[in-house]
Amino acid sequence: MGIRLSEEVAEALDAGRPVVALESTIISHGLPRPDNLRIAREIEARVRANGATPATIGMVGGELLVGLDDSALTRLATSDNVLKLSVRDLAAAAAAGADGATTVASTSAVAAAVGIGVFATGGLGGVHRDANQTFDESADLTTLARTPIVVVCAGVKSILDVGATLERLETLGIGILGYRTKRFPGFFISDSGFDLDWSVQSPAEVAAVMRAQDGQGLHEAGIVVANPLPADEQLDPALHDRVLTQGLAMLAREGITGKGVTPALLAHFHSATEGQSLAVNVRIILHNAELAAQIAASAAAIE
Ligand code: PSU
Ligand code: MN
């Protein structure tokens, strides 16, 4: 019970061709049905259109798969028994023969273990707003501190404490490169209001950072490429703030905590904005898939 690579992904890795890892939690728990399956296929198509092989990661019947075929993708998108698997869950879920979707944390860990260097997602997990009481901080952060992979995302979800999350990213030694920006994006909104130290202008510049990190051999942490949506494609910030306030109240009222928080808040956004946040979420992921493929292609060309 190790990790099984699809033939396509194994061949691409062997040949040194660009590969982009994709997570399955956004499919199983982050996006509503029935759109989720269509969107999962669109994300893969976007990676291919930009010159890389997509490697969606997930668990089917206890087997950890890198590169899901259409039946596995369909099962993770439509079954009611898909667990949300962080790194600590992978072994127990495999032994139990479970179906599961991998988060940013577990997708990064598996991707790096098989030699994939670039990963596209929507938004990173982080420090929750009440973390000083609940200690709720995503394992995405601590995993990236020990996992050498480039994660292309639109910052962290705006439902989190963004300032605290940036502090933790600094403490954990995870580099952040703003893509054509020196402001940290806020997922649904293009600008979280926080400044960044570093920004890059092209996929080739990200590849140069990856190469420098390898050359120095000084640290094994991940790098976040923070790719904001253009401002005219973001969710209206006023609508965003209103829906977020309602959503946080809903969590408190319904007593939702732990790993249920992120899916519940995303679902609340999608229904309360009548699909506007869903459209924004999809644009974010496609946008990141495109950039990740270009970065992987640049990195493969340098090697
Ligand atoms: N980005 C999205 N939608 C999502 C997530 C990220 O656009 O659903 C998922 C990722 O899998 C991330 C997880 O790792 O939310 C964070 O969950 P938690 O806060 O429970 O660690
Ligand atoms: Mn959590």
Probe residue for ligand 1, chosen from 56, 262, 277 as the CB with the greatest number of ligand atoms within 8 Å: 262
Per-residue pLDDT at 40 exceeds 80? yes
Q: Which of 137, 157, 259, 290 is catalytic?
A: 157
pLDDT tens-digit profile of 226-263? Answer: 999 999 999 999 999 999 999 999 999 999 988 899 89
Residue 267 has a pLDDT of 92
Residue 130 has a pLDDT of 87
1 pLDDT band (50/70/90 cuts)?
low
Length of the chain: 303
Residue 218 has a pLDDT of 87
138 marked as part of a ligand binding site: yes
pLDDT tens-digit profile of 121-170? Answer: 999 999 998 899 999 999 999 999 999 999 999 999 888 999 999 999 99
So what's the ipTM on this one?
0.92
Ligand nearest to the CA of 27: 1
Q: Which residues line ligand 1 (CB under 6 A)?
A: 23, 25-26, 29-30, 103-105, 121-123, 125, 138-140, 259, 262, 266, 281
pLDDT tens-digit profile of 201-233? Answer: 999 999 999 999 999 998 789 999 999 999 999
* pTM, 2 dp: 0.96
Share of the chain above pLDDT 70, in %: 100
Domains of the chain plus CATH, in order, are 1-116 (3.40.1790.10), 121-303 (3.40.1790.10)
